[in-house]
Structure 1
Amino acid sequence: MDKTIDLNLTFPDTKARWENFLINQGIKDFSSREVDVLDHTVGLIDEDGHLVGTGSIAGKVLKYIAVSNDNSVHGARFNQIVSALQEYLFSQKIYHSFVFTKAKYSSSFAHLGFNELAHTDTAAFLESGTPSIQDFLAKIPRIENQNQKEVAAIVMNANPFTLGHQKLVQLASSENDLVYVFVVATDASLFKTSERIDLVKKGTAKFKNVVVVSGGDYLVSRSTFPAYFLKSPDELITTQTEIDALIFKNIIAPELTIKKRYLGTEPFSRTTNFYNQSLQKILSPSIAVKIVHRFRDNEKIITATSVRQLIKNSDLKDISTLVPPTTMNFINENYQILQERIKKGMNIDGN
């Protein structure tokens, strides 16, 4: 009978054995982006001492699940690996988990109680446990007769919240009865999720028809989207965009009666431009997409990237023309903390 064991990937021999097994199963991406975030890895050992299955956990995402079905009942080893990973999560008091997998494996996870949230030709995104996406949506505030109102949405990282973000929200606020601003909830930015949400709330407080909420686990950041089973960076962008758009279009927007989504251009980012074009294609025509050109300060485009670079270079006086007073106050009060994060290697590039 196969035995489940913990695999310590800090041991070179163990990691090499693990990688070789996965390579034989067709998985070849062991980049730091994928492997460094792993919290726990298990293996299945058969009676002859061979590694015949493995799976890992990153946060609450199941990754690197692969089994050899030689000399085994089909599905038995897969079930054993997934069960072992969920037992580990339960031991950590985590009762909600996700998996991004090849589309053809979605039904296998569904048989184990996972609920598919979205799928493309390439990949599927599923969840198990609570709080579920319906629980997430139930906590979001509504207004009276919302289904009869003009409701719009903006999704932003706001790393940090700038005057450009504020003007985009102001525009949406002036054109709709209610605007939801979803803040991407991933602590892979210079400004932590809680800080970014707070800055967005303070920076939009004067717009009384704006509701700021965390994007939770359902507005997926590219930094957390597993790519180890995809063939290329371009396929990662395409797949992540499609999954993100389908969840928004088919689950989030109908529940909140969202009819329009606002996007800001990013003239210096090929990835963001591709993302915007893909969202427009997938969301239309059921959800109108309005792409707004970046706002400028004296002909200079306002971007959060510029603000982070100025923080790194200690050019605080130039930041005040790019961010609202609430963001400027936070930067002044937490300047040393932000500098320490940068010195420790926090990436300030990107959007």
Structure 2
Amino acid sequence: MYDFKLQSINLKNEKEKNEVYRFLEQFQLTLDKDVDYTVVLRDGNETIKATCSKEKNIFKCFAISEDLRGENVTSSLISHLIDKAFEEGIYHNFVFTKPDKIKIFTALNFKLIYEVEEAALLEYGIYDINKSLNKMIDRYSINPQSLKGALVMNCNPFTKGHRYIIEEAAKRCEEVLVFIVEEDRSIFPFKHRYSIVKEGVKDLTNVTVVPGGEYIISSATFPNYFIRKEDDRMRAYQNVDCNIFGKYFCSRFNIDKRFVGEEPYCNVTNSYNQTLKDIMPKYGVEVIELKRKKNDEEFISASKVRELIRNNKMDKVRELVPEVTWNFLNSQLGKEISERIKISNSPH
């Protein structure tokens, strides 16, 4: 690649960013708004001939000019991103890509986790999904031989509705695993969501609360750059996420029931629940949809709690959350988070 040079882009410089946007548009791609590092390959005329980006440990937004295909450009770009991640203390990386690009990445020692018609997820680094789940078993003393029920929750924040669904699962199963979504895209940070739920169900002796890890995927993580239509992107996300849970989590932890709360308001959650119902049976897993708990004839939800906090109706909040959540909200950190909710329009 003589006469070519790799150059990092200043993402705060609109001129430099727009140059990358224009290059990606040639391939019907876009630059995801949440990337934190972008590199380009320029020729002797300073023209961009290839680019890639990352968001934390997720590689994305790849494009290479047709005249450079087969010139080991992908290898150079990936090596550069891996080195950059390494500098940041990140030793395990993911890439979402189109299925027809899988061979390119497996040739660079990425391992395929799962592919669907629209997208594939691969990983690279010091461990893989199977090692990660084995580590969970050891760390949280999970018996892989016993049958279990499972729930995946964000708990942003933990409500009496969450507590009710966990209780119902605990009544129907000898053991229950509650996976708390670990990705920090919520107004309540993961470490606090996790500790609040753990404290909030400690009386349920057959329930184990476990961090979800990197393999329970958030829809917010799923790439915009090559799946432009929101419906297509959501369908791909749901298929990847549900199949990863079935293929890896359910088989490794011996899960035969997945519990979800009925969703009276959110079409996206309804769609996700339906995808679970379609996919889980092929892994021998029953999906049990439970009616949500009500308060004054209104369903309890974390979004409702955040809305009440935003409107400073803390007396109403107290009716919807367990004591452990209420105590957190009245701590110094809880009050700071409440203030952020009041000035934020974010649904998360």
Within a 5 Å distance, the mapping from 1:106-255 to structure 2 comes to 106-140=102-136, 141-144=140-143, 146-147=144-145, 149-255=146-252
Amino acid at match of 2:24: L
How far the C-alpha of 1:64 sits from its partner, in A, is: 0.6
Higher mean alpha-carbon deviation, 314-323 vs 128-137, is at 128-137
The 1-side partners of 2:96 and 2:142 are apart by: 34
SS state at 1:10 partner: coil
SS state at 2:50 partner: strand
The 2-side partners of 1:75 and 1:196 are apart by: 47
- The structure-2 alpha-carbon separation of the partners of 1:341 and 1:135, relative to structure 1 and needing over 3 Å to count, comes to farther
Whether 2:80 is the aligned partner of 1:78: answer no
Q: Which residue of 1 aligns with 2:337?
A: 338
How far the C-alpha of 1:99 sits from its partner, in A, is: 0.7
What do the CA deviations read for 1:149-206 (whole angstroms, capped 9, x no partner)?
Answer: 3311100111111111111111111111111100111222121111110111011111
Whether 2:321 is the aligned partner of 1:319: answer no
Q: Is the 8 A contact 1:190 1:346 kept in 2?
A: no
State the 4+ residue runs in structure 1 displaced beyond 4 angstroms: none
Q: Is the 8 A contact 2:309 2:342 kept in 1?
A: no
Q: Is the 8 A contact 2:110 2:124 kept in 1?
A: yes
Give the TM-score of the pair, scaled to structure 1.
0.93
Within a 5 Å distance, the mapping from 1:22-61 to structure 2 comes to 22-27=24-29, 29-30=30-31, 34-35=32-33, 37-61=34-58
SS state at 2:61 partner: strand
Q: Which residue of 1 aligns with 2:5?
A: 3
The 1-side partners of 2:125 and 2:225 are apart by: 24
Q: Is the 8 A contact 1:155 1:181 kept in 2?
A: yes
The 2-side partners of 1:101 and 1:133 are apart by: 18
SS state at 2:258 partner: strand
Amino acid at match of 1:98: F
Q: Which residue of 2 aligns with 1:300?
A: 298
The 1-side partners of 2:94 and 2:334 are apart by: 35
What do the CA deviations read for 1:232-267 (whole angstroms, capped 9, x no partner)?
Answer: 111121111001011111111111111110011121
- The structure-2 alpha-carbon separation of the partners of 1:344 and 1:75, relative to structure 1 and needing over 3 Å to count, comes to farther
The 1-side partners of 2:342 and 2:323 are apart by: 25
Q: Is the 8 A contact 1:265 1:292 kept in 2?
A: yes
How far the C-alpha of 1:11 sits from its partner, in A, is: 2.0
Q: Is the 8 A contact 1:69 1:77 kept in 2?
A: no
The 1-side partners of 2:226 and 2:63 are apart by: 11
Q: Which residue of 2 aligns with 1:265?
A: 262
Identity %: 33
Q: Is the 8 A contact 1:96 1:130 kept in 2?
A: yes
Q: Which residue of 2 aligns with 1:287?
A: 285
Q: Which residue of 1 aligns with 2:19?
A: 17
Q: Which residue of 1 aligns with 2:84?
A: 88
SS state at 2:305 partner: helix
How far the C-alpha of 1:91 sits from its partner, in A, is: 1.4
The 2-side partners of 1:298 and 1:89 are apart by: 50
- The structure-2 alpha-carbon separation of the partners of 1:73 and 1:327, relative to structure 1 and needing over 3 Å to count, comes to closer
Gaps of 5+ in 2: none
SS state at 1:187 partner: coil
The 1-side partners of 2:342 and 2:157 are apart by: 18
How far the C-alpha of 1:132 sits from its partner, in A, is: 2.5
How far the C-alpha of 1:134 sits from its partner, in A, is: 2.3
SS state at 1:320 partner: helix
Amino acid at match of 2:23: F
Q: Which residue of 1 aligns with 2:307?
A: 309
How far the C-alpha of 1:342 sits from its partner, in A, is: 2.2
Q: Is the 8 A contact 1:43 1:54 kept in 2?
A: yes
Number of paired residues?
Answer: 341
Q: Is the 8 A contact 1:245 1:279 kept in 2?
A: yes
The 1-side partners of 2:311 and 2:291 are apart by: 27
What do the CA deviations read for 1:108-150 (whole angstroms, capped 9, x no partner)?
Answer: 1111111111110010011110243223212223455x42x33
Amino acid at match of 1:305: S
The 2-side partners of 1:39 and 1:343 are apart by: 27
How far the C-alpha of 1:346 sits from its partner, in A, is: 6.1
How far the C-alpha of 1:25 sits from its partner, in A, is: 1.9
